[in-house]
Structure 1
Amino acid sequence: MPEEMPLDDLISSAAQDAGGWLGALPVALVATSNDGMIVRWNHGAQQLLGYAPPEVLGRHISDLLHPGADRSLGRSLWETAATGRGVMGTVTAWHRKGHPLELEIWACPVPDRRHGASAVLVFAADAHAARRIRGSSAVWDGLFARSPVGIGVLDTQLRFLQVNPALEAMNGLAESAHVGRRLAELLPEVNADQMEEAMRQVLDTGEPVLDRRRTGRTPADPDHDHVWSCSYVRVEDPGGRPIGVIASLLDITMQQRDHTEAEAGRRRLALLSEASSRIGASLDLERTAQELADLAVPHLASAVTVDVLDSLARGIEPGTGLAGGVALRRLGKAPLTGSAVTQALAPLGRTLIFPTTAPYTQALAARQPFLIAQLDDRAVAPAARHSPKPAQLLELGVHSFMMTPLVARDMVLGVATFYRTGHTGPFGSDDVTLAGELSARAAISIDNARLYHHEHETAVVLQRSMLPQHVTPPPGIEIAHRYLPASDVNEVGGDWYDVLPLSGGRAALLIGDVMGHGIAAAAVMGRLSATVRALGRLDMPPTALLHQLEATLADLSDPMLATFLYVVCDPATGHCSVTRAGHPPPAVVQPDGTVYLVKTPPGVPLGVGGISFTTTDIAVPPGSTLVLFTDGLIEARRRDIDERLTELTGLLAAPQQSLDHLCDSLIAHLVPASADDDIALLAARIGGPALQPPG
């Protein structure tokens, strides 16, 4: 039999084993003899009830009960404990300051060798505080055990002390695997260093950290990335010293994925909206291809190339088949600088030839996107038979690759190729869809450029064919003329000029501009030109001729307007008659350098109807030059028309020069870049010593 412990040791041991709430409350420890007399009274008892030890030692324990309370409960509890059974209960005691205090007590017999009998050891605590602590403990225990939120308790060295079942499930590790180890040791596949830094911040400052993201993979799901929202709170002892951290974790992978997908959807819509405004506005093949490449980097890919059929780039209508392979012209590439990948790719303007078996040709023939989500040696092997380029791109860090054909109106026009490098993820189905939509928009724009280019060429050919091919100046008049078509198909119009010989050695100088664009305007211009030639040879008065031109326009199914200037000159006398129908006035350059615009009623354009035209007569000295022009020569964006006319007269005031040089100088100075509108220009030098008809 082991030797019995002294009473003081038994009290200490019993206090340690008394359970749960006794360690969290100020507890009174009282010992009585077997007859109920108080023999021990600790400091906790004095704090709880206010009596110093000399005031209670030797008194019966029942003397401390409330005078008005039922004392039988207290006596029965003590008597039960004295007979050898431990009991718990609630009694009302009397505080030294004269107020009742409800106590929760636990009593048990303790053998006392020195007193020769069993003593009774009584623990007492404030009942209200005990219930509050028990309630808090129950809540914590329930939350910890059954909460779907992962909870971990860590010490000041950030070692796990305890984890709940939810955190075990999240990490795929039992609690025993956690205890005593740090997060960085347990889960190397997550951003543990950042999380531990956040916990150290909490320990140092006492300020909680909320919603810090933990990302990566755990043994619970080693094949997929997860995202957790983590919050950290410092745990302190009663003195306010940090003793650890409580971490709570919530798996928000699905919410994050939904948010990411929604954000990606918004970015796709924004990119498509930008594509609508940026791609194809110029109706130029090269610019449209480059716009697609520039737009896709970096929003969709790290590098992009855009290739169109070489025949299309050369202005030839593309064929319908790819049986003999394909020749592609590189017209778009991004980024143009600063990328090892794009430097390794063929430069802009290069024509690339692909045989029938090459992946490029097969992708175009199938008219379907071609994707290699994970580019590796095995994936590049088929293409390596045709070119070392795929292996070189793999070495440069390209890890994902896709191609989308450029197809419009059931016609293959080219292909766009997308590359990804670095830490960006591989191309997925959403990326293929987005690339297809961008390529489709670019393809429509490229095809529009093709059609417009074809129409532009047709309109220019028609326009030039209807202009006088060989203007034979009548005696006494020197002629020079120019026609410059607009650079943009939308501006190709119906400008024309002509010189008609009339009776009596006179000549008609005429210039006009059909208000419209494209083939239709050129065709109307042809009808007006033919009508003028027929009526002019009849020597019809100018005003009557203009009314006949109006009738010609009225016969059209789609009425159009045209400006017109008709000048009849007699080189022998210098007499000229000027008739205008809404057209800019002619300029006169006299031999002495004097320049002026003829002041004559402007009239209204042909086709308006109901207006009478008037003719203005002028006389010019021999050797004077008349300059007739369309508004394309003097109109300019953001420039006032009067300023441009002043600039024109200033150029005409230069020293005398040949008419060809004069025409070229006007165009070079007034239209230094590509023309926004057609330009027709006719210069006629009237009379002069060398041109006077014989006597």
Structure 2
Amino acid sequence: MEHVPFDEVTTSAARDAGGWLGALPVAVVATGADGSIVRWDHAAQDLLGYTPHDVLGRHIADLLHPDADRGLGRSLWEGAATGRGVMGMVTAWHKEGRPLDLEIWACPVPARHRGGTTVLVFAAEAEAARRIRGSSAVWDGLFTRSPVGIAILDTRLRFLRVNPALEVMNGLPQAAHIGRRPVEILPDVNGADMERAMRRALDEGRPVLDSRRTGRTPADPDHDHVWSGSYVRLEDAEGRPIGLAATLIDITAQQQAQLEADAVRRHLALINEATLKIGSSLDLERTAQELADVAVPDLSDAVTVDVLESLATGGELDAGLIGGTTLRRLAKAPLTGSPVTAALAPLGRTLVFPASAPYTRALGARRPFVVPVFDEQAIAPAADHSSTPAELLRLGVHSFMMTPLLARGVVLGLATFYRTRPVGPFTESEVALAGDLSARAAVCVDNARLYRREHDTAAVLQRSMLPQHITPPPGIEVAHRYLPASDVNEVGGDWYDVIALDGGRAALVIGDVMGHGTAAAAVMGRLSASVRALARLDLAPEDMLYQLEAALHDLVEPMIATFLCIVVDPATGHCRITRAGHPPPAAVLPDGTVRLLDVPPGLPLGVGGVRFSTTDVALPVGSVLVLYTDGLVEARSSDIDARLAELTDLLAAPVPSLPGLCDRLLTHLVPASADDDIALLVARIDPAA
């Protein structure tokens, strides 16, 4: 048995007893001045198995292991009795006849009712004492050194103890916490939510994990923080709640990083969506609307898109913006159901802004213009000119920004983004995102502008080269139609003509330059002029095709064209037909019979090395010839033979006039949005006409 002087261990024993004896079964034994046992409590009986009747009056050293040195035991007791006190470990003998290691603490106390000294001996099972003392040391170390904030609260949610980490986290010493609730000492955090989570842990007995505490504490009163809290109910031996243990971790940095990562993912998703949705057509209004639709609601609650008036009307764009700005509103989102967009100028409205207006400043500076806080002060400069800003403020707009539409160094217009939801003003990353979306849309808007200009130029060129007034020779009645392709496609190179020849004959010609745009229209004009000049030389049809072939080869960028020429003598109904890769002509005989004329198809002009041939066909007087380009009978979802059969069926039905026949064919064979332009020429052989 180890001797430890009492005066050296008093502080240590008191600390141990206060720190962990309450959780350990401890036997309390008292002896008289002669060492005989005078008190034996229930814990001692439970520990060693002896009843008070078994031990009272016996010397305490008699309870040691039979092989132990009883003289040593007696000297230890004497040391305690003389005032030095002892602390150590002994091996006792259990009533069941087995050894039991005990930790003991012995110290003298004055007898209450008589003189002399009483020795109190505290004894506990050594293994249990070591285990509990070890866990207590771990807990104390964790509590004092942990970087995690830890608090112990009672069942009324009042602080009993906080560790140094929580003191630093809250910016308050432990003394400011003790006896007070979280809502009392931390008014600038969501204390009510926190206490509800704590109460739930107390009432239900299940831990509450990752309950978020947000706000500001005296430790950092100028910045918001986010903490993750976990709450565990503390219970006594019978399972009754006696308090609560709370741990808190500051996750502000992680939360901010997560928010930034989420924002990046949302931004990338929005950019990907914009790539797919913006610029799906070369239509100016549709492109502007696609930009507005993409930005709502992920980036903004309402959006308008305005372009320069000169762009909307097809004029030339200004190299710079001087003075005021005139814009045309092309898009709003959402189109319905939003009080904000309802309060803004409608689509198609022309808007004029002075030089001092944010619209003009954003365009002139060629960079975003942001109003982070939209309030009475912000709208004051415009109060005398417009009531719209005040109305937007009333509708809850609290932040907005304008981003110019810039493409190839040219200012095209701007997009305006309005925010009403309580999510704060636009951030720098959101301004950058709006700039990316606007840049994407600006390129598409500029493409639409350039396409419209080229489309209009090609359309004007093509129409100018089509025959303006066709005057057929006597004996031939004609009707014709030209239908340009839809705006999804560009103008093509289809044309037709009727040329009077010597001897009362006429040349019915139709052609199609492969390709679209201004180049195709220009080649079409060149071929049509060449055909008219060559036909008047009275060349044989196949010779005329050779000359046209040579004209195509003279081009810097050779092109290919299909061509059909029918030289008709109305007096006899004799026709000479030459075909170069063009769809076959149809003939409607006076008796209503319809047939596609069997003429060798040939190869298109421009292929080279091809011999052309001419076929002679005799038609009865009163027959109708139908010439057309492939746009009339070709369709992506239908077989060409089926479409030709549909054409002949339409021709077989009675028709009162040639213009009516043209209208019938276009109405039934051409969809609302044609993929290709169409030329149609019909002629009736009628000597009496």
| TM-score normalised to structure 1 length | 0.93
Q: What is the one-letter code of the residue matched to 1:486?
A: A
- C-alpha change, 1:402 and 1:34, in structure 2 (3 Å) is same
CA distance in 1, matches of 2:371, 2:632: 55
Q: Structure 1 residues 268, 115: CA separation in 2 closer, same or farther (over 3 Å shift)?
A: same
TM-superposed deviation, 1:513: 0.9
Aligned to 2:614: 615
Describe the shift of the 1:624–1:69 C-alpha distance in structure 2 as closer, same or farther (beyond 3 A): farther
Residue 573 of structure 1: aligned partner: 572
Letter in 2 for 1:572: A
**2:428 aligned residue:** 429
Change in 2 beyond 3 A, CA 1:243/1:578 = farther
Confirm or deny that 1:272 pairs with 2:271. Answer: yes
SS at match of 2:534: helix
Matched position secondary structure for 1:481: strand
Amino acid at match of 1:355: P
Q: Name the CA distance, whole Å, in 2 between partners of 1:405 and 1:237.
A: 69
Give SS of 1:19's match: helix
Work out the CA distance in 2 between the residues paired with 1:427 and 1:93: 78
SS at match of 2:515: coil
Q: Is the 8 A contact 1:489 1:518 kept in 2?
A: no
CA–CA distance in 2 between the matches of 1:191 and 1:600?
89
Using the TM superposition, give the Cα deviation of residue 489 of structure 1 relative to its aligned residue in structure 2, in angstroms: 6.8
- Counterpart position of 2:126: 127
Rounded to whole Å, the distance in 2 between the matches of 1:594 and 1:70 is: 139
Instruction: Give the conservation status (yes or no) of the 8 Å contact 2:62–2:70.
Output: no
Equivalent position amino acid for 1:131 in 2? R
Judging changes above 3 Å, is the alpha-carbon distance between structure 1 residues 224 and 15 closer, same or farther for their aligned structure 2 residues? closer
Unaligned runs of 5+ in 1: 1-13
Aligned position for 1:5: none
Which deviates further from its counterpart, 283-292 or 387-396?
387-396
Deviates more, 1:543-552 or 1:373-382: 543-552
2:543 is aligned to 544
Give the aligned partner of residue 380 of structure 2: 381
Q: 1:11: which partner in 2?
A: none
Secondary structure of the 2:106 match is: strand
Q: CA deviation at 1:460?
A: 0.9
Any conservation in 1 of the 2:65–2:91 contact (CA below 8 Å)? yes
Structure 1 residue 195: Cα displacement? 3.0
Alpha-carbon distance change, 156 to 637 in structure 1, aligned in 2, over 3 angstroms: farther
Letter of the structure 1 residue corresponding to residue 178 of structure 2: V
* Separation in structure 2 between the aligned mates of residue 651 and residue 181 of structure 1, nearest angstrom: 94
- Superposed CA deviations along residues 40-98 of structure 1, whole A, max 9, x for unmatched, are 11110111112122111111111111223454553333111100233211111122222
1:374 and 1:414 map into 2 onto residues whose CA distance is 24
Separation in 2, partners of 1:578, 1:228: 89
**Among the aligned pairs, what percent are the same residue?**
73
Pairwise CA distance, 1:388: 2.1
The 1:21–1:357 alpha-carbon spacing in structure 2 relative to 1, beyond 3 Å, is closer
Deviation at 1:466, TM superposition (A): 1.6
Instruction: Give the superposition deviation at 1:209.
Output: 2.5
Q: Please name the residue that 2:6 is paired with.
A: none
Say which is worse superposed, 654-663 or 451-460, in terms of deviation: 654-663
CA contact (8 A) 2:489 2:675 kept: no
Amino acid at match of 1:583: H
Shift of 1:19: 2.9
Following superposition of structure 1 onto structure 2, how do residues 650-661 of structure 1 map, counting pairs within 5 Å? 650-661=649-660
Paired residues for 1:315-464 under 5 Å: 315-464=314-463
RMSD (CA atoms): 2.2
Match of 1:8 in 2: none
Structure 1 residues 70 and 391 mapped into 2: Cα distance closer, same or farther (>3 Å)?
farther
Kept in 2, the 8 Å contact 1:588–1:598? The answer is yes
Q: Residue 292 of structure 1: SS of its match in structure 2?
A: helix
Bigger shift: residues 171-180 or 335-344: 171-180
1:189 positional shift: 3.3
Q: Is the 8 A contact 2:508 2:567 kept in 1?
A: yes
Alpha carbons 1:322, 1:356 under 8 Å: kept: no
Range that drifts further, 655-664 or 253-262? 655-664
Amino acid of the structure 1 residue aligned with 2:563: F
Give runs of aligned pairs for residues 6-25 of structure 1, distance below 5 A.
18-25=17-24
| 1:237 match | 236
Matching residue of 2:645: 646
Q: 1:550 to 1:424 in 2, by over 3 A?
A: same
Asked if the contact 1:313/1:329 (under 8 Å) is kept, the reply is yes
Query: Is this contact kept in 2: 1:150–1:170, CA < 8 A?
Result: yes
Match of 1:203 in 2: 202
Deviation at 1:275, TM superposition (A): 1.5
Deviation at 1:387, TM superposition (A): 1.7
Contact 1:109 1:120 in 2 (8 A): yes
Deviation at 1:495, TM superposition (A): 0.8
2 CA distance for matches of 1:273 and 1:100?
A: 79
1:628-683 Cα shifts (integer Å, max 9, x gaps):
11122223343333333333333323322222222233223333524322111111
Superposed displacement of residue 160, structure 1: 2.5
1:511 aligns with 2:510: yes
- Secondary structure (helix, strand or coil) at the match of 2:175 reads helix
The secondary structure found in structure 1 opposite 2:609 is coil
Secondary structure in 2 matching 1:144: helix
Equivalence map 1:304-315=2 (5 Å): 304-315=303-314
1:99/1:673 CA distance change after superposition, 3 Å: same
| Aligned counterpart, 1:246 | 245
SS of alignment partner, residue 498 of structure 1: strand
Partner deviation per Cα, 1:201-223 (whole Å, 9 max, x = no partner)? 32344332322322222232233
Pair 1:190 & 2:189 matched:
yes
Within 1, Cα distance between the matches of 2:18 and 2:76? Answer: 19
CA contact (8 A) 1:583 1:605 kept: yes
Q: Deviations over 1:380-425 (max 9, x none)?
A: 2223243221122112111111111112222221111111112121
Q: Give the drift of 1:334.
A: 0.7
Compared with structure 1, are the counterparts of its residues 220 and 457 closer, same or farther at alpha carbon in structure 2 (3 Å cutoff)? same
**Take 2:45 and 2:55, find their aligned partners in 1: how far apart are those partners?**
10
- What is the count of residue pairs matched by the alignment? 677
* SS of the residue 1:424 aligns to: coil
In 1, distance between residues paired with 2:564 and 2:411? 48
Deviation at 1:164, TM superposition (A): 1.5
Deviates most, 256-265 or 652-661: 652-661
| Residue identity matched to 1:53 | P
Query: What is the identity, as a one-letter code, of the residue corresponding to 2:614?
Result: T
Task: Compute the displacement of 1:169 (Å).
Answer: 2.1
Amino acid at match of 1:481: H
Distance 1:419 1:526 in 2: 51
Query: Residues 330 and 16 of structure 1: is their aligned pair in 2 closer, same or farther, counting only changes over 3 Å?
Result: closer
Task: Sort the Cα spacing of 1:614 and 1:99 in 2 relative to 1 into closer, same or farther, 3 A.
Answer: farther
1:293-304 correspondence runs (5 A)? 293-304=292-303
**1:435-456 CA-partner distances (Å, limit 9, x unpaired):** 1111111111111111111111
The change in CA–CA distance for 1:33 and 1:297 in structure 2 (over 3 A counts) is same
For residue 596 of structure 1, what is the amino acid of its counterpart? R
What does residue 9 of structure 1 align with? Answer: none
Q: TM-score, normalised by structure 2?
A: 0.94
One-letter code aligned to 1:28: A
The 1-side partners of 2:121 and 2:682 are apart by: 128
Is residue 2:593 matched to residue 1:594? yes
Contact 2:455/2:490 (<8 A) preserved: no
